[in-house]
Amino acid sequence: MSTDSYLLENRAPDAGTRFVALSALFDGVTMRHVDGIGARAGWRCWEVGAGGPGVPRLLAERIGPTGYVLATDLDVSWMGTDLPGNVEVRRHDVATDAPPEPGFDLVHARLVLVHVPQRDEALRRMVAALRPGGWLLIEDFDVNLQPLACLEARQEAEQRANRVRAGFRELLAQRGVDLAYGRTLPRRLRDAGLTDVAADAFEPVALPAAAALEIANVRQVAPALISQARASAEEVDAHLRAVAAGQLDIATPPLISARGRHP
Ligand SMILES: C[S@@+](CC[C@H](N)C(=O)[O-])C[C@H]1O[C@@H](n2cnc3c(N)ncnc32)[C@H](O)[C@@H]1O
């Protein structure tokens, strides 16, 4: 995938805010799975589509100075410069660039594959990078499982939030995002030959970081929403003001976390 087809590209100024919000929402979930898998000192980890420094830094803490974290992304400009010495940052397209040396104990991608048109090939490459007994952890939204911005839509502002979210979903689908990908993960991991497959879902219903994520996302896609008449400029402005004022309980889609082990 080129950076041009990625709707929420990292070059936009709101990308940094988005990575901070994603960390606040989901780093706890990710690390619960990493700990459940049994990550330990000395492990080699590949963090695919890292975005910001949050997960690479947490992985580096878990595996200690004798371990190694390779953090890759199409755009690494939000990774920062103060990462621990056992983290290597590399610009890399998971679907098309030569994969790194295999033998990883853990390969993880969160909210990446859903955006990658060649997601089957990307998944195949991640599985191939595992050592025998190594773990793959894939986390992705299932947007269609819970498509709303406001689960309870009694007021006009909540209904407007859901109309803006519907427009956002349509933009994502236009760019090739699979809106029902999350639910398919356990099957895909089994089909890839992995064992001990397990999955769960985490659903933010009204968390402050979900409001911050909403503002970053809607600001970034506002020009497309307006030019395609999916929302008016007035609606977008009113929605952003209502979210910023804390007037809405903003939900995200459920994050499905699925793990499996190379035999
Ligand atoms: C929604 S962000 C998620 C960032 C981070 N994984 C997280 O959960 O906070 C998606 C990230 O995937 C990256 N990405 C998209 N397509 C990619 C590809 N083909 N190869 C590598 N990274 C990709 C984007 O640049 C972006 O940083």
Residue 242 alpha carbon to ligand 1 centre in Å: 28
Residue located via tokens 């030959």: 193
- Sketch the domain layout of the chain as residue ranges: 3-261
Q: Indicate the CATH number of 3-261 among 3.30.930.10, 3.40.50.460, 3.30.497.10, 3.40.50.150.
A: 3.40.50.150
Residues 6 or more apart in contact with residue 97 via CB below 8 angstroms: none
51-76: average pLDDT: 97
Alpha helices for the chain (secondary structure H): 15-37, 54-63, 119-128, 156-174, 185-191, 208-227, 233-244
Kindly list the distances between the CA atom of residue 97 and the CA atoms of 11, 91, 109, 122, 192, in Å, as whole numbers in the listed order: 20, 10, 16, 10, 20
C-alpha angle 130-120-210 in degrees, rounded to nearest 5: 90
Residue 153 alpha carbon to ligand 1 centre in Å: 31
Give 227-245 pLDDT, tens digit per residue.
Answer: 999 999 999 999 999 999 9
Question: Which residues, in sequence order, are bridge partners of residue 261?
Answer: 135, 195
Backbone dihedral angles phi then psi of residue 158, each to the nearest 5 degrees: -75, -40
Please tell me the number of Cα atoms within 13 Å of 175 on its side-chain side.
20
Residue 247 alpha carbon to ligand 1 centre in Å: 30
Report whether pLDDT(54) > 60: yes
pLDDT at residue 3 in the model: 38
Q: What is the 3-state secondary structure (H, E, C) of 113-146?
A: HHHCCCHHHHHHHHHHCEEEEEEEEEEEECHHHC
What tokens were used for 29?
A: 């979930």
Residue 112 alpha carbon to ligand 1 centre in Å: 5
Mutate to test the pocket of ligand 1, among 7, 115, 137, 138 (most ligand atoms within 8 A of CB): 115
Mutate to test the pocket of ligand 1, among 7, 11, 70, 74 (most ligand atoms within 8 A of CB): 74
Rounded to 10 deg, the angle between the 208-227 and 156-174 helix axes is: 70
Give 166-186 pLDDT, tens digit per residue.
Answer: 999 999 999 999 999 999 999
Residue type for position 167: G
What tokens were used for 54?
A: 């949050």
Report whether pLDDT(5) > 70: no
Q: Return the ligand 1 atom nearest residue 95 CA.
A: 19
Report whether pLDDT(63) > 90: yes
| pLDDT, averaged across the chain | 94
